[in-house]
Amino acid sequence: QPFKQVLPDLADTRLTEVIYQAVDEKMSSIISAYLNRSLLPLYPSINHQLKQMDFMRQMVQVTAISDEQGKHYAMLQISDMTNALAKDAQLVEQTQTLLQLNEMDDLTAVAHRKKFDAVLDEEFKRAQRANTALVIGFVEIDHFGLFNDHYGKNYGDKCLAEVAASFEYALNRSTDLIGRYSEQVFGFIMPCTTFDGAVSVAETIREGVSDLQLRHETSTVAGHVTVSAGFATVHPTLSTQLDALIESAEFALAQAKQAGGNKAMIYAIYYGY
């Protein structure tokens, strides 16, 4: 029977095309399982069919052959690539996980400084090209040196980890990034964020850390761990320097600390707006 009649759903597929090329033009081909979806309604096993009804991932080799009378045919050799592709996908996932781990601070599970700097440079250039707003910020644990001296490094590390974990409630976009900028300072990158958005995030961060109620008896700010936040927002032009944005955020942080700590300061940088 004609192939298109036996499997009408495959009439307009790559498989049908190469079969007729083999018959009409004596051209052999291989259809990769990596580049094409499952071609024929075949399953890796009966158990697999009953569980998920997923088709076998197939590599199909189509070979042009002829009989003694000179009649042309196409021979299909189908290789089950299901397990091989599954292993490849697992290896890719493991590789991506390792790459992500290599970009993270071991203690706080946020991006390390090198990753933070690279993303900041990339996002700043993107904001320049797209003419969009960019917010960066720095958040520092108030009197963290006194905390370490009083409670010891182990408790200091635990404090850093818990504070970093609390930041996740303030940022919920995949484009935002948190990094460990220095020992007790965390950096934030928020593309396409307005001044009001920066104010909201900064206050959410400050309140979230305060709500942890981590005891800090030697703090002059409160009896528990608090943070000071300095954020800066800019709508960068092609002449805007990244250093100016960083310095503005650092200055805002310094102002928040000088105001007594447990404060958030946000500066907006304008260039002709």
pLDDT in tens, 111-133: 999 999 999 999 999 999 998 99
pLDDT for the residue 96: 65
Q: What mean pLDDT value characterizes the chain?
A: 87
pLDDT for the residue 240: 86
CB atoms within 10 A of CB 112: 17
Helix (H, G, I), strand (E, B) or coil at 33: coil
For the chain, percent of residues with pLDDT exceeding 90: 53
User: Can you tell me the mean pLDDT for 12-18?
Assistant: 85
**CB–CB of 10/16 below 8 Å?**
yes
Helix (H, G, I), strand (E, B) or coil at 132: coil
Number of Cα atoms under 13 Å in the Cβ half of residue 243: 0
Q: What single-letter DSSP state applies at residue 186?
A: E
Q: List the Cα angle 101/103/108 in 5-degree steps.
A: 75
| pLDDT of 51 strictly over 80 | no
Q: Which residues partner with 79 through β-bridges?
A: 59
User: Can you tell me the mean pLDDT for 228-244?
Assistant: 91
pLDDT for the residue 94: 72
Predicted TM-score (pTM) of the model is 0.64
Q: Which residues partner with 230 through β-bridges?
A: 138, 265
Q: Which residues partner with 185 through β-bridges?
A: 140
Between 154 and 51, name the one with better pLDDT.
Answer: 154
CA distance 89 to 13: 25
CA distance 192 to 129: 13
pLDDT for the residue 272: 42
| pLDDT of 30 strictly over 70 | yes
| pLDDT band, residue 254 (cuts 50/70/90) | very high
Span of 28-42, 145-159, 250-264 with lowest mean pLDDT: 28-42
pLDDT for the residue 102: 67
Of 209, 127, 131, the C-alpha closest to 168 is 209
CA distance 199 to 267: 10
CA distance 159 to 170: 18
**CB–CB of 67/117 below 8 Å?**
no
| pLDDT of 273 strictly over 70 | no
* Residues written for the chain: 273
**CB–CB of 147/226 below 8 Å?**
no
Q: 170-219, pLDDT tens digit by residue? A: 887 889 999 999 989 999 999 999 899 999 999 999 999 999 999 999 99
Q: 77-108, pLDDT tens digit by residue? A: 998 888 888 887 787 777 666 555 567 888 89
